[in-house]
Amino acid sequence: MAAELRERLVELFRWVDPDPGASHLVSDISGWWRDPVTLAALGPALVAPFRSARPTVVVAPAVTGFLLGPLAATALGVGFVPAHKPGDGRLPTGPLTWAQSPPDFRGRRVDLAVRDRHLGPGDRVLVVDDWVATAAQVRALYDICAARGAEPVGTSTIVGDCPPALAADLHIHALLTATELG
C-alpha cells in the first residue's frame, strides 16, 4: 500500500504556472484531496512511522494542515490542535502561545499560535504538514510545544525537501522527496 500510495501521489501532483510570465512554477496538491483512495490512505500512512512513539495529539499549521491534521488524528484515535496564523482572519480568542519561525522557504517569518487550553504537559505531539522545505514552521511548532511543556515526538509530512541531517535532527518523516515530484 505504501508504494501504491506514493505512486498515486506523484501521478496526482502538478507543477503549475501561477500567471503568465511568473518566474517559477508552484505546487498544486489539490489532486490528492480529489482522489478518494489517496484521501483515505493519507492519514494512516502519515502516522504509521510514529505509532510506536504513542502521540497523544496531532498539531498542524494553517491552512493545509487543517485538512491533513484531522486525517492523521483520526487515524491515531487522538485529537487535533490547529496552529493559527495571523493572516487566517479568524484568530482564536483566549490565552494563546505564539512562536515565530525562522525565514521559511519563501523567506517569511511566520507567526503561529496554539490555544493554551488544548496543549500542555504530558502531551506527546505529532506535527503533521503537507510539505517541509526549510523546516522553519516545524521549528516554530516545536517551540510552542516546549513553551507549553509538551513533547514533540516528530513531524510527518507528505513531501520532505530538507537535508537528511536536518530531517534526522527534527525527527521528520516524509512519504516522498520533492525530487520524486519531478
Q: What is the DSSP string of 52-94?
A: GG--SEEEEETTTHHHHHHHHHHHHT-EEEEEB-GGGS-PPPS
Among 133, 147, 166, 170, binds ligand ADE (CB under 6 A): 133
Among 13, 50, 80, 131, binds ligand ADE (CB under 6 A): 131
Cβ partners under 8 Å of residue 182, min gap 6: 10, 15
Site string for ligand PRP, 111-130 (x = CB under 6 A): ------------------xx
Among 97, 137, 155, 156, binds ligand PRP (CB under 6 A): 137
Cα–Cα nearest to 90, from 82, 98, 79? 82
Collapsing DSSP to helix, strand or coil, 39 comes out as helix
The site partner of 63 among ligand ADE, ligand PRP, none (C-beta below 5 to 8 Å per kind) is: ligand PRP
**Is 52 or 179 the residue whose CB approaches ligand ADE more closely?**
179
Is residue 27 near ligand ADE by the rule CB under 6 A? yes
Indicate the Cα dihedral angle 132, 157, 57, 106, nearest 10°.
20
Smallest separation, CB 27 to ligand ADE (Å):
4
User: Which residues form the interface with ligand ADE (CB under 6 A)?
Assistant: 27, 105, 131, 133
